[in-house]
């Protein structure tokens, strides 16, 4: 294979170096393209564009491979299941934490789990039916108002403190927004509980009765957070990088990530999937009609939870979540008709030429909502749970970019297709 690409344009021939990644993937380095040719590249949706080099997550979409710092995601799902907090440390700091590192980090998560009282008080002024993702994004930015010392992170000690605050308090914010929406009193975090158990406690305990946390529910939530922890340059992570590239603080960058994740084409899809399955269950739609509508170019309907920009094979996370749904339902003795409908829909799609031709498979959102529902998380909190899981990935990419020598602000070009030179016309002449 060649080390350079040759471009011939306007009678000029230039060579563009090819960069090769750790797994042999290759990319044409066009950093000199405009200087040498006056031309830019055109790539809507950045389908063909690598915007950075990163050592955090590797995905092979053709083979359905997903690795965190080189470790296949499947290895985080076997018993005894690693804890989400270990994966947080691995993604952000690049190594599996030692016993000592994990204890220090866990203690910091505990000491930073309480919301500032001013932040807590804001909930009283938010409508009870406000979208939880709007609350989460706004509250992450509110943290910037009360933790001014964290706006400029100039040393590793302070960075660890702000990371611990975000990772710990994102749960408290999420749980308080749920309690507010139900008109229930806030349940403060319990310093004796592990990460996921504490979130479930804040969501479902009452002042006079602690929520009984079953191990399989705690494990299922731990699995969900781990599987959502990072996914290289997805829309929300690239958003965090773009905001962070302007040297914006970590609160503002993650708040922007929450906003991007909210979209139904991205993290909001897990809500759309369950709402689609519920419509089918109530008889308003049939699985066969879903497939027909999804194929119909004149119909805006898309089969939520299907398709992916990178996976042209099964999303490995979907496979794991599908098995987890079955397992948790069996252990808890529940049956969920939506799971049976999901299985039927998947079977129809995987045998339909429209989906086969386009290599559309179930993605992480197709089963995550069903598992969240199985463990009692309400539908409007699904994408918030996705955000809790993805927060370490956003932080890891923000940190990796900030540590890059000579990092530049992300500012792409465009192809202008508007008016050519025009003149202002005074009102009396219009
Ligand atoms: C996540 O990027 C990430 O890594 C995201 C994520 C992460 O962990 O961060 O994995 C999480 O966001 C998963 C995706 C969740 N979204 C959905 O499930 C929404 C439904 N899916 C689609 O909207 C779509 O598949 C996307 C948004 C996921 C991907 O969009 P692309 O890469 O721009 O693909 P495309 O729109 O160009 O589709 C290619 C073709 C088109 O048909 P043609 O024009 O070639 O005829 O496939 C069709 C699309 O119409 N298609 C679908 C479809 N997804 C793609 N048709 C029907 N139903 C679908 N779900």
For 94-118, how does the pLDDT look when each residue is reduced to its tens digit (9 = 90+)?
Answer: 999 999 999 999 999 999 999 999 9
Segment holding 100, helix H or strand E: helix 99-111
Q: Do residues 391 and 378 touch, judged by C-beta distance below 8 A?
A: no
Residue 284 pLDDT greater than 90, yes or no: no
* Digit-coded pLDDT (tens) for 304-358: 999 999 999 999 999 999 999 999 999 888 889 999 999 999 999 999 999 999 9
Q: What is the mean pLDDT of the chain?
A: 96
Cα distances (Å, whole numbers) of residue 421 to 187, 223, 241, 413, 418: 61, 57, 35, 20, 10
Residue whose CB lies within 8 A of the most ligand 1 atoms, among 273, 307, 346, 358, for a mutation test? 307
Residue 80, pLDDT above cutoff 90: no
pLDDT at 165 over 90: yes
Percent of the chain past pLDDT 70, that is, above it, reads 100
- The pLDDT confidence band at residue 204, using thresholds 50, 70 and 90, is very high
Q: Which atom of ligand 1 is nearest to the CA of 294?
A: 57
Q: Would you state the pLDDT for residue 243?
A: 98
Calculate how far, in angstroms, residue 90's C-alpha sits from the geometric centre of ligand 1: 29
Place of tokens 């995987």: 350
State the burial class of residue 287 (Cβ atoms within 10 Å of its Cβ: 0-12, 13-18, 19+): buried
Q: pLDDT class for 155, splitting at 50, 70, 90?
A: confident
Please give the structure tokens belonging to residue 206: 């009452």
- Ligand 1 atom having least distance to the Cα of 232: 4
Quote the pLDDT of residue 294: 96
The reply to whether ligand 1 has any atom less than 6 angstroms from the CB of 295 is no
**Which atom number of ligand 1 is nearest to the Cα of residue 266?**
12
Q: How many residues does the chain have?
A: 430
Q: Is the CB–ligand 1 distance for residue 39 below 6 Å?
A: no
Q: How far is the CA of 307 from the centre of ligand 1 (A)?
A: 4
The verdict on the CB of residue 363 being under 6 Å from ligand 1 is yes
Give residue 291's pLDDT band: very low, low, confident or very high (50, 70, 90): very high
| Residue 173 · residue 180 · CB < 8 Å | no
Residue 3 has pLDDT above 90, yes or no: no
Nearest ligand 1 atom, CA 358: 47
Identify the helix (H) or strand (E) that includes residue 26: strand 26-28
Is 294 close to ligand 1, i.e. is its CB under 6 Å away? yes
**Residue 311 CA, ligand 1 centroid: distance in Å:** 10
Nearest CA owner, ligand 1 atom 12? 266
Beta-bridged to residue 15, according to DSSP, are 6
Ligand 1 binding pocket includes 303 (Cβ within 6 Å): yes
Q: Whose CA is nearest to atom 3 of ligand 1?
A: 234
Mutate to test the pocket of ligand 1, among 300, 308, 311, 314 (most ligand atoms within 8 A of CB): 308
Q: Which two tokens stand for residue 332?
A: 């808890």
- Predicted pLDDT at 407: 87
Please give the distance, rounded to the nearest whole angstrom, from the Cα atom of residue 368 to the centre of ligand 1: 16
23-76 pLDDT tens trace: 999 999 999 999 999 999 999 999 999 999 999 999 999 999 999 999 999 999
Q: Give residue-wise pLDDT tens across range 366-390.
A: 999 999 999 999 999 999 999 999 9
- Looking at the annotation, which residues are catalytic? 308, 365
- Only one residue has tokens 């829309």, namely 235
Q: What would the pLDDT profile of 211-235 be if each residue is shown by its tens digit? A: 999 999 999 999 999 999 999 999 9
143, 169 contact by CB (below 8 A): yes
Query: Which atom of ligand 1 approaches the CA of 308 most closely?
Result: 28
300 CA to middle of ligand 1, Å? 13
Ligand 1 centroid to 389 CA: how many Å?
A: 21
| Res 37: pLDDT | 97
Ligand 1 site, residue 181, Cβ cutoff 6 A: no
Q: What is the DSSP letter of 162?
A: H
Handedness of CA 15, 19, 24, 25 (dihedral sign): negative
The verdict on the CB of residue 304 being under 6 Å from ligand 1 is: yes
Beta strands in 281-394 (DSSP E): none
The residue contributing the CA closest to ligand 1 atom 37 is: 309
Q: How far is the CA of 309 from the centre of ligand 1 (A)?
A: 6
Q: Could you tell me if the CB of 358 is within 6 A of ligand 1?
A: yes
Residue 269: CB within 6 Å of ligand 1?
A: yes
């Amino acid at each position: 294979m060649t080390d350079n690409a040759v471009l011939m344009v306007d009678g000029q021939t230039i060579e563009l170096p090819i960069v090769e990644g750790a797994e042999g993937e290759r990319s044409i380095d066009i950093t000199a393209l405009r200087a040498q040719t006056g031309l830019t590249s055109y790539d809507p949706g950045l389908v063909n564009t690598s915007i950075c080099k990163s050592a955090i997550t590797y995905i092979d979409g053709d083979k359905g491979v997903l690795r965190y710092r080189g470790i296949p995601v499947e290895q985080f799902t076997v018993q005894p299941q690693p804890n989400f907090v270990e994966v947080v440390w691995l993604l952000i700091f690049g190594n599996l934490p030692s016993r000592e590192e994990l204890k220090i980090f866990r203690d910091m998560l505990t000491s930073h789990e309480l919301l500032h009282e001013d932040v807590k008080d804001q909930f009283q002024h938010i409508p009870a039916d406000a979208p939880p993702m709007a609350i989460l994004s706004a509250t992450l930015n509110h943290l910037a108002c009360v933790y001014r010392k964290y706006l400029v992170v100039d040393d590793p000690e302070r960075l660890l403190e702000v990371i611990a605050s975000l990772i710990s308090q994102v749960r408290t914010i999420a749980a308080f927004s749920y309690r507010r929406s139900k008109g229930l009193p806030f349940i403060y975090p319990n310093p004796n509980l592990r990460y996921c158990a504490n979130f479930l406690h804040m969501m479902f305990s009452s002042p006079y009765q602690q929520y009984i946390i079953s191990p399989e529910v705690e494990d299922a939530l731990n699995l969900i957070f781990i599987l959502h922890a990072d996914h290289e340059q997805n829309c929300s992570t690239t958003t965090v990088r773009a905001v962070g590239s302007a040297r914006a603080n970590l609160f503002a960058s993650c708040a922007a990530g929450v906003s991007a994740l909210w979209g139904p084409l991205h993290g909001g899809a897990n809500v759309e999937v369950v709402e689609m399955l519920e419509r089918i269950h109530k008889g308003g739609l049939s699985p066969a009609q879903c497939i027909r509508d999804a194929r119909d170019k004149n119909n805006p309907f898309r089969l939520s939870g299907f398709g992916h920009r990178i996976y042209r094979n099964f999303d490995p996370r979907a496979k794991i979540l599908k098995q987890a749904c079955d397992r948790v339902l069996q252990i808890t003795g529940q049956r969920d008709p939506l799971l049976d409908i999901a299985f039927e829909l998947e079977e129809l799609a995987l045998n339909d030429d429209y989906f086969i031709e386009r290599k559309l498979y179930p993605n992480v959102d197709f089963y995550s909502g069903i598992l969240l529902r199985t463990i009692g998380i309400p539908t409007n909190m699904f994408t918030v749970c996705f955000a809790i899981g993805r927060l370490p990935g956003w932080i890891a990419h923000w940190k990796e970019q900030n540590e890059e020598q000579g990092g530049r602000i992300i500012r792409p070009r465009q192809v202008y297709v508007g008016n050519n030179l025009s003149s202002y016309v005074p009102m009396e002449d219009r």
